[in-house]
Structure 1
Amino acid sequence: MKKINYLLAAALFIAAGCDKSPVDQGTTDDGNLYMQFSVKMLSTRSTTDNTGGSNSNADPDTEVGLAKENTISTVDIALVKDDQYYVAKNVTPSSASADTYVASFSTLDLTAGAKYKVYIYANCSAPAAFNVDEVSEATIAEMTADNKFWMTNAYSATEVTLPSDLAPYTQPNTPLSLGAHTVERSMARFDYKQAGAFDMGAGITLTLTDAALINQSKAHYMFRRVTADANTTSAITVGGAEIPTNWVVDTDWSSKTPAGFDAQLEAPSTWTWTKLASLTTDDQYTGDYKIWCYAKENTIPGIDAQKHNVSTGVVFKAELAAGATASAAVKDAMAA
């Protein structure tokens, strides 16, 4: 089995700040400021962990995702400066390019010459009030609907400086360029390759039949964050790059309890079983892998903290069978 890193999640560290409510952009032409920007999905991030001795036999070792996971259907774009928060919702692509958009803001609200950070919400909605530490408890089903897979900034928000004169950009055909912005899917995906029966000796075989994913987080940060280095107490960077020597961290990584999970190792009644034979959707790898499920980030600060009751894991059901080579005693025991 391999985990495909669609997700780069978040941390317990909460930066000081205040919520910012969006300004209504209005629908008149008075003071309109048109801005053009492009949005592309980060497609090279989704690799298996084939380095470091993984048993993944995926070839090639990069999963680009399915069209229904990659499609950007809606875009909300937010401009943030201190306590100012401006949003253009449901921006549609321009006719010139499928990934280029033109949004309308207001020159009456935006400050000429000022710097704003750009936040992208693809297939999900910008909040009523902005907080870079925003936490969502949306369900996996809500976040992974076909052609509406949630995506947000893949890196730190780009900072743009508005021109000192905004007048030239008040017509749709002369938009101000906000540049290109990369988004990433907000969740990981697990794929599974069915194995044959395992020989247990004495003519007995074991076949895995069902699987359940346990201890996956309920909540996630809308914008990924990482530690500065391998030190789990180091500074946190919102939108920082994930590298082998740092940590991607989530909302409760330093205070994990089973109560933070819907499916808990200690409560089998909460597990959701999937029959492995029912998996039929191919991924983009060769090697007979099938798409199994999605999962939010569940990160834990350090190897020593990776306990069974808080680490994400997989529970299997299996069937034992006595084959033709089994002795009569073994067959009788199995039948009993």
Structure 2
Amino acid sequence: MRKFKFLSMAAIAAMMLGACSDDKLSDGPDSPNGPGTETQDGVYFTIDIDLPNAKNSRSQTVNPGDNGSTSNSGVEYGKDYENIVEKAIIILAEAETNNFIAAAQITKTDLRALTADKSTYQAVSQFTKTQLSNYYNKPNHKTEANIFLFCNPTNELSNIVFGHTEGENTVAGIASGSNDWINKIGHATIAADEAIWAKSSFLMSNALIATREIPHTLQDWNFYTSKSKPFDLSGTNGDVNIDNGTTDRGAVKVERAVARFDFKDGSIGGKGCNDENGYNGIGDRTYEVVYTTGDDNKKTAIVNIQLEKMALINMNKSYYYLRHVSKDGKPDKAEICEPELPWYAVGSGTITKDGNYVVDADYTWKQSVITATKANTIPTTFDYSEGLHYPFFKSDGTIDNNGNDDRWGTVSCEEVLKGTEDNNDSWNSDSANDRGDYRIWRYVTENTIAGPVESQINAISTGVVFKGKMVAPAAAVNSTDADIKKLADAINNTEESFGDSYRAPILYLFAGNLYLSWPKIREAAIKAAIPGFKWVAVKDETDGGHWEPISINRSNSLYVAVFGTGGFGSVDFKYNVVDSQTGNVTQEGVSIKYTDTLAEEVGCANDAWNKWNEAGKPATADSEVKNAFKKAVTDANITIYQRSKDKKLGWGYYCYYYYWNRHNDNLNNGVMGPMEFAVVRNNVYKLAVTKLSQIGHPRISENDPDKPTPGRPDEKEDVYLTVTAQVLPWVVRVNNIEF
């Protein structure tokens, strides 16, 4: 790993512990430094810092005991600007208890590069006698201490450590002998220049506890009162016979406080795209989702989806400065800087007994949300932004995201794919395993959810929303089937004059089939229930007889969705005449007029649509007939898609796909496991949508029979998309996404 060596610098006024002059280290006649008359308050030290996954680190899988990582996918090298240290805070704490002893800080002016490539830095720093005296005056004080490093600390963290002023009041820093500082929580901002992932200023802290031997007595520090001769917390110290450079000591390993999301266009074929698992991408972020099947059983795509935008949702506002883990995910039993241990054996879904949870900094708030969703007691005015940036849900529990007031972290997929390339490491570019061209999307705070596993719910888990646009391919545009061609022409129409959300055709989806207008789905429902008509000759009737169905199957799923258990009224459309004996079609496209003798079910989807249609299709939010129509249709498990205008993409038919970030995959789709859906610091999550199984969720909540709700589990048996998702130590976890 790249190492940075610091000779740390004292924080002065805030750390004064009421020392008097005779507490100072003396360079008097008995000093090991020789005779002198000057008293010194400063004692100097040096320390090495291993930044996470710098380019000279090993790229193979690492063990949890090495740097806290449990990834089995490999290592992602950080960008130079993700590894730079501009300033730091160093805390000396008692071993075992982490009671505070002393702190020092390093500013940019204290750092100087020792090599041309700036891979090694040196800084001068010191603790003061007043900081150390309280510890050394304790009886039976330890000869070892824990070292904590915070690289690129925020102002909030600096104020916690060293104290600050608020108006006329002075707020003290960490008190000597206290250990509550290890549980301090930071508050994440999303302003680019203030965020804990600001370029060249990533907040980092200990990946593991770093215990080092320190001078055994206060007088032993007399050897280290000169900048040119510091005490080495990472190396050997001959004067006091202390060696901190052993294999299990040396440099202090740090990790970033945030995770990174990378993205690639998974619609492009090739290695790593899961062709054998039903891959359906055709390139340019486009996927085939609706098909017709010919007489030869060959499938032809008639509706594609092109992914246009992606948005981060539910990012934590809070984070621990030091990683916390516990067996049950609760903070009261948490350990700091201990490794996350996997719940599953590598390469299988077999659960192990040794797994643990990374503890969430906002555990209490999240538990209140989980409890309320289970009891169905979340108020309609609940403010999800209390704990989350980019909340998925509005206060009323709907997801509707107004393009003029976007509360999500929305970006263009195309722009992301033009962004910064990930590192060209052996992980994704070796000849035997070409994983493709990932681009760095953004950085995300840690977000975890404690067990039971069903607590991983849509209200609080971090995820990604993909916005897709329906596109009709040439096969549909040029189809000889009039209905398919009309559908294609409507989907591809981008003219404003074609109509708004209610005046343009409204599309209906049921069981994977898409219908242009309600009359078309109604017609399909009748045809699905009736195999054909036969002519019944009756002498006394005007036409000498009438058409009647050979039989009616009112239990057909599409029929039930449209008409419920009732009749279908009068029909007047072209139908194929079928021989009742052989089942062969004897006439094609015959105009059939028939009135069902069974009364229509009041309140069924078709009845509700008829009433809305007869009222002139009112579109206002308070329209009772409109709301009744949408409720009846979605209650029947029919999805509604309305045309809309995206201010950047223009008019079209859009849909959403929801992906909840996978951290610890149990390899059992439909069944959640511990820590399966989470974001953990110092991981890179590499995302690629490799398959869209169907048209996504409609953008309007009331149009969706499968709409997300705050208490909905993150994993369900129905799958809209497939994401390849791998996670490595800065760290990559690759998630191939299939919807």
What whole-Å deviation, never above 9, does each CA across 1:38-85 have from its counterpart, x for those lacking one?
A: 11112179999xxxxxxxxxxx84211111101122222122353543
Map of 2:485 onto structure 1 = 328
User: In structure 1, what residue type is equivalent to 2:454?
Assistant: D
Distance 1:75 1:250, change over 3 A: same
What whole-Å deviation, never above 9, does each CA across 1:81-131 have from its counterpart, x for those lacking one?
A: 535433233252574881554421223441457554322111115332231
Distance 1:41 1:295, change over 3 A: same
C-alpha distance in 1 between matches for 2:208 and 2:310: 34
Stretch of structure 1 that moved more, 322-331 or 85-94: 85-94
Q: Is the 8 A contact 2:43 2:128 kept in 1?
A: yes
Is 1:272–2:291 an aligned residue pair?
no
Structure 2 counterpart SS, 1:167: helix
Is 1:241–2:339 an aligned residue pair?
yes
Stretch of structure 1 that moved more, 39-48 or 204-213: 39-48
Is 1:117–2:256 an aligned residue pair?
no
User: In structure 2, what residue type is equivalent to 1:307?
Assistant: I
User: What count of residue pairs does the alignment treat as equivalent?
Assistant: 303
User: In structure 2, what residue type is equivalent to 1:176?
Assistant: F
Identity, % of aligned positions: 29
Structure 1 segment 205-216 matched on structure 2, within 5 A:
205-216=304-315
Q: Which has the larger radius of gyration?
A: 2
Corresponding residue to 2:45 among 13, 24, 35 = 35
Distance 1:220 1:46, change over 3 A: farther
C-alpha distance in 1 between matches for 2:189 and 2:152: 14
More helix as a share of residues:
2
C-alpha distance in 1 between matches for 2:365 and 2:467: 30
User: In structure 2, what residue type is equivalent to 1:216?
Assistant: M
What whole-Å deviation, never above 9, does each CA across 1:213-258 have from its counterpart, x for those lacking one?
A: 111100101011111x3x4458311111112121111112353143
Shift of residue 315 of structure 1? 0.8
Distance 1:264 1:47, change over 3 A: farther
Gaps of 5+ in 2: 1-13, 25-37, 62-72, 163-172, 175-180, 235-250, 268-282, 292-301, 343-354, 370-383, 395-400, 430-435, 477-483, 494-503, 505-739
C-alpha distance in 2 between matches for 1:94 and 1:281: 26
Q: Is the 8 A contact 2:106 2:123 kept in 1?
A: no
C-alpha distance in 2 between matches for 1:218 and 1:118: 27
Is 1:201–2:223 an aligned residue pair?
no
Corresponding residue to 2:324 among 206, 221, 225 = 225
Q: Is the 8 A contact 2:82 2:199 kept in 1?
A: yes
Q: Is the 8 A contact 2:48 2:252 kept in 1?
A: yes
Map of 2:197 onto structure 1 = 144
What whole-Å deviation, never above 9, does each CA across 1:290-329 have from its counterpart, x for those lacking one?
A: 1111110111112210111111111111111111101312
C-alpha distance in 2 between matches for 1:100 and 1:182: 17
Structure 2 counterpart SS, 1:273: strand
Query: Taking CA–CA contacts closer than 8 Å with sequence separation of 6 or more, which of the two structures ends up with the larger relative contact order?
Result: 1
Structure 1 counterpart SS, 2:420: coil
Q: Is the 8 A contact 1:88 1:105 kept in 2?
A: no
Is 1:176–2:231 an aligned residue pair?
yes
Q: Is the 8 A contact 1:225 1:240 kept in 2?
A: yes
C-alpha distance in 2 between matches for 1:264 and 1:109: 44
Q: Is the 8 A contact 1:94 1:101 kept in 2?
A: no
C-alpha distance in 2 between matches for 1:45 and 1:273: 35
Structure 1 counterpart SS, 2:340: coil
C-alpha distance in 2 between matches for 1:160 and 1:132: 20
Map of 2:82 onto structure 1 = 69
RMSD of Structure 2 on Structure 1 (CA)? 3.0
Q: Is the 8 A contact 1:78 1:87 kept in 2?
A: yes
TM-score normalised over the length of structure 1? 0.80
